[in-house]
Chains A and B, each alone.
Chain A
Amino acid sequence: MKVTWKLPDGTEKSADVANGTSMMQAAVDNNIPNVIGECGGCLSCATCHVYVDDAWVARTGAADDFEDAMLDVAEAERRDTSRLSCQIEASDALDGLVLIVPQP
C-alpha cells in the first residue's frame, strides 16, 4: 500500500509499504521526522503519535483503551484524529493513507 506523510515543514513524503508493517515502522524506515517509536511498537512511549487525515479516520478505526491512555502522554497536542502509528497496520484497505506528522 502507499502512504503519504504530511510533514511539519509543509512538504510531503510517500512510500510503498508491505502489508502488515506498522505505520510507525514505515515512518522510521523512511526517516520521517518526529516519528521515533522508542518502544518498538509496544504502546509504551507515545513517540509515534500522528494525526490521521480526516478522510481516512473512519478506515483506520479508533484507538483502544491503552492507546487512548497513551495518547495523553504524547508530546504534541492531542486531537480527535490522534493515533499512535504503531497501532495502524498497512493493508490493501488503507492504500493511499494520509498521515499528518505533528509539530512537537
Chain B
Amino acid sequence: MTVWTPTDDGFADLTSHDTFAQGAPHNTFARLRREDPVSWTDYDQGQGFWSITRHQDITEMNRNFAVFSSARGIRMEDQTYEEYLARRTFQETDPPEHMKTRIKVAKAFSKPVVAGFEQDLRDLSNQILDAALSNTTFDATKDIARQLPMLMLGRILGTPEKDLPWLVEKGDALIANTDPDFTDHVLDQMTTDEFRMMPFNSPAGAELYAYAKELMAHKNATGDTDGVLHLILQPDKDGNTISEEEFRNFFCLLVAAGNDTTRYSIAAGIQAMCHQPELLSQMQQGGDDLWELAPDEIIRWATPALYFRRTLTQDFEAHGKQMKEGDKVLFWWSSANRDDTVFDDPFRVNLMRSPNKHMSFGQSGPHVCLGMWLARLEVRVLFQELCKRLKKIEPDGKHKFLRSNFVGGIKELPVRVTLQ
C-alpha cells in the first residue's frame, strides 16, 4: 500500500493553491517528467513560468546560479524591484553577496554546533509526547509536529517561552499566507496592496519586526550577546553591517523557515507510520545505521518546500525549449523527490534508502538549507522518542493538506494510538 495515491488528472493547474489542498499533483509531475520536462505555464496573476521537474535537470540548473538567479524573488508571484528590495533576505541573493550574510550564521547551524542541542531536543520531545499521548485520539500535526520546532526555535532565538505560541502563529501567517486557516490576509484573495513592502507580503511581517526589535533591545540591555540574532548583526569582513530592513527580513525568515518546514516533515513521517505499519517496528528495532538514514527519507517524503523559483540572467536552452532572459523558472523539489529514475519505488517510505539524493533542502545549489542539520536532528530525536512509546498508530479520519503551492504540508492529521 502506498501512503497516498495522487488523484490529479495529470494536467493540474500548478498556479492554483487549491490544487495542492489535495496534496501535490504527482500525476501531473510524473507526466511532465516523462513528456515535457521544461514546461511552460501561463499565470493569470502575472508573467508565466517554466517548470523544471526532473531530478537531474534541477541538480544541474540549481548549481548554475550565474544563469538561474535567486536575486529577483523565489516564489512564482511577480515582484516589482522596489518590493524585492524591501522584502529580500539572503535567500533572494546570489553568490558572492549571499555568502557574506550566510557566513555569519553558518557556524551556528553547523552539524557539530547543532549536535549540542540533542539532549535539549530529547527533553522537549518527551515533554510534548507526555502531553499528546495522554489522549488516545488527537491531531498529530497540532499536538506533536507543530510543537517541537516552535519550542526549539525559542531556544535558538532566546525568546521567552510565553511568546512562542504568538511567534508561531505569526510565522504561519507569513509562510502559509495562502491558507485561510492561517491568515486573514490570504495572498491571492486580497483586495489591497497595503502590505506589499512587508516580508512575505504579510501584515505579520510588521508585527514580527516590532517584536524582534524589542527582543534585541532587551538582550542588549541585559548584556545577552548569545545566539544567531547577534551573529547576524556583526559586520562582515569588509566592515558592512546589514540594514534594519534586512534584519527584519532575516528574523521573519528564521521564524517562518525554522518552524513549518520541520513541522511538516514530522507530520508527513507520522502520516507515513499510519499507512505503512511496518515503519513502527523498523524504527523500534533500528540501530545507528537506520537513524543515520531515516530522517532524510522522512524529509524526502515530506518535501515541505514544494518549489523555489529562479530568474534567468540570459537565454538558456534545455530539452529543445528556448527560455529567455528574465523568464521565471521553477525548480519543483516535490517532483524531483518522486523521480523514479533516481528513487526506486518513490511513493513508498524506505527508512534505509541509501543513497538518498533527495532535494528537500535544495541540495546542489548555494541556497542549500541552512538549518538542514537541525531539521535532521529534530526529526531523528522526535521519531526515536515517539516509536518507543507506541504499540500502534493509525489514521482517525482523513488528513488535510495546506492550501499552498509553495509549502507542502499536512495541516490536520487525526490519529489514534495504542501505547506500549
Contacts and interface: CB of A to CB of B under 8 A. Distances in A.
15 contacts: A38-B361, A39-B365, A40-B59, A40-B365, A41-B63, A42-B65, A42-B366, A43-B366, A44-B99, A44-B366, A45-B368, A69-B106, A70-B106, A73-B107, A75-B110
A39 B106 contact: no
A69 B98 CA distance: 14
Tell me the dominant secondary structure on chain A's binding face.
loop
Contacts of B99: 43-44, 66
A69 B103 CA distance: 7
Contacts of B162: none
B26 interface: no
Interface residues of A, number: 17
A93 to B, nearest CB: 25
Contact of B237 (A39, A65, A72, A73): A65
Interface of A: 38-46, 65-66, 69-70, 72-75
Contacts of B63: 39-42
B237 A38 contact: no
B91 to A, nearest CB: 12
A40 B62 contact: yes
B95 A40 contact: no
Nearest to B372: A38
Contact of A42 (B95, B106, B110, B112): B95
Q: Kindly name the residue among A38, A40, A70 whose own CB sees the greatest number of chain B CB atoms within 10 A.
A: A40
B219 interface: no
Contacts of B112: 75
A75 B110 CA distance: 7
B110 A40 contact: no
A9 to B, nearest CB: 16
Given A66-B103, A73-B107, A43 B372 contact: no
A46 B365 contact: no
B196 interface: no
